[in-house]
Structure formats: C-alpha cells, structure tokens
Structure 1
C-alpha cells in the first residue's frame, strides 16, 4: 500500500507544477483549514433557509464533528506526512492520517446534500484532490478522511433532519 500511495502522490503532486493549479490548491487549503469553508457554508444555509435552520445548524455541527474526529485520530495514529516530495502548502500539524480537510469536506457534501445542497459534492471532491496535489497527504489519508466524513454525516443524518428520513 505504501508503494501505491507513493506513486499516486508523486503523479498528482506533479500537477502542482502548473502555477494556476498551485494557486487553486493553496486557496483550497486555506479555505479548508479547520473546516472553515464548510462551516461558513452551513451557517449561510441556516441563514437563508429559515424553515430548515435547525437542520442546517445540526449539519454544520456534523461537519465540525468530522473535522474534530479526524484531528483526534491523527493524534492517535501519528502517521508522518509525505517526506519524498516538496509540499505546496504549510501544514499546522505534522501528522497526516486521516485528512481532516477531506473529513470535513465530505461530511459537508453528504450532510448538506441531504438538505438539497447538491452543489457541495464537486468542491468537496476538489478539496480532497487538492490535498494530494499539495503533497501534504498520502492517498490513503484522504480516502480515510473522506470515509470518516461520510460516516459521520450518515450516522448523524436522522438527528440532522429532526428524525425525518
């Protein structure tokens, strides 16, 4: 698995040689710190969709929970970030598994998608991919983060919608 992670990461990181790609990756990285982009999106959803404000706020809480869960697992697993390539961005921590950016992005796509916010999936996928192009995560880190985010949102779906399917 490590060899496959290494090869995939090297190939995707090479895409960051294009200055336009590198700029987009840096922007996504900054926007995704601590799940900020997704938390803000959830709060906007709550502000504009008054009839489902509570659902949007609970969905936003699920996004925060996915991010926090990812950060907690990182401290337990302690997998080092990739060392064989030069990253495009700085990171707050030195551990990489799972990707908290991927966890919060995927949780937002799943939770807000359940509320009709289907437009969240493409930027969430871009966020996940950007972590590889940035060279700060192994592919398995991103896959695990995305799985954690999806699981968090699915487990909280009934709570988020107030018990409605």
Structure 2
C-alpha cells in the first residue's frame, strides 16, 4: 500500500497548527467552546442584545452591532453557497468538532466574530477586535474545520461588513 502524500500548502499549515496546539491543556476544549458560542453568531447576538437592553445611552451602537453581526453572518453563509468549497478532508487533518454544513469558504465564525468585535468595541470603547478575533480565528484551524484562507477571508469580510454598518449608521443620522 503506498504511503499517503505529505501534506502541502494550506493542509500542511493546518497539520502544523494542530500539531503545535491541539495537545496543550485547555486548547481543544476552549476551541470547541468558541465554536459553540459562535455557531450562527448566536453568542455574539445575545451579548449585543443584552447590551442594547442594559445600556440605554448606547442602545443605538448596540443595535448597530446586532444588525452588523447578523449581516456579516448572512454574507458569509451566502458566499459559502456560491463558492461551495468543501471543508478540509485530508486524513492528516483531525476534525475536532461537528459542523452544520460541509462548506468551508469563508469561515462564518471568523466573519461574524470580526464584525461583532469591531461593532461591540465601538459600543464599549474597548479594543475587542484584538482580544476576540485571534482566538476565534485560530480555533477554526485547531478544530480542523477551515483552511487558513477561509479564516483570513472571513476576518476581512467581517471587517468590511462592520465598516459598512458604521457608514450606514453615520449616513442615517
């Protein structure tokens, strides 16, 4: 039986990331927790709705965050259906969590997390993109459910949707 081919390109990057991080204490459970929290952007939307309820003086910013996060997720899902790239399936890549679809590009988790972080950062005045985006982006690779380009494009798409949400908010005042 021939030996499997050595992983190359993005698959090699996934294998390297998984080899370096997956066995470290708490990494896999944290990555899975982030995955569940970010599924369909529900965790971010709940936080934003709570912010809108509790922070009356900042309600508009929180509601813009809700709309922008929802739009980012929708854009990612729509793009997935157009591109139809399959998730990593190389035997060298361990898939460490279930997914709602077999489609990979772009990462909806990276997209909605980036939009949420930018927009919630505006509502709170905190540097949330620096704190929230890298762990979510890395978690998608550790879990073996996205190629690095899926995640990078998702971050860029989330940032673009957040900028559009902010522009629309300013234009409507």
**TM more than 0.5:** yes
Any unmatched runs of 5+ in structure 2?
1-6
CA–CA separation in structure 2 for the residues paired with 1:106 and 1:33: 14
Show the 5 A alignment for 1:61-140: 61-84=67-90, 85-121=93-129, 122-140=131-149
Contact 2:64–2:119 (CA under 8 A) maintained in structure 1:
no
**1:58 offset after TM fit, Å?**
1.8
> Whose Rg is larger?
2
Bigger drift between 44-53 and 115-124 goes to: 115-124
Distance 1:55 1:161, change over 3 A: farther
TM-score of the two chains, using structure 1 as the length reference: 0.91
Q: Number of aligned pairs? A: 163
Question: Which consecutive unaligned segments of at least 5 residues does structure 1 have?
Answer: none
Aligned to 1:17, the other structure's residue is in SS state coil
CA gap 1:117/1:162 in 2 versus in 1, 3 angstroms: farther
What root-mean-square deviation, in Å, do the aligned CA atoms of Structure 1 and Structure 2 show?
1.8
Quote the offset at 1:43 in angstroms: 1.1
Matched, 1:9 2:14: yes
Change over 3 Å in CA distance of 1:3–1:160 after alignment to 2 = farther
Moved beyond 6 Å, runs of 4+: none
Verify: 1:36 aligned to 2:42, yes or no.
Answer: yes
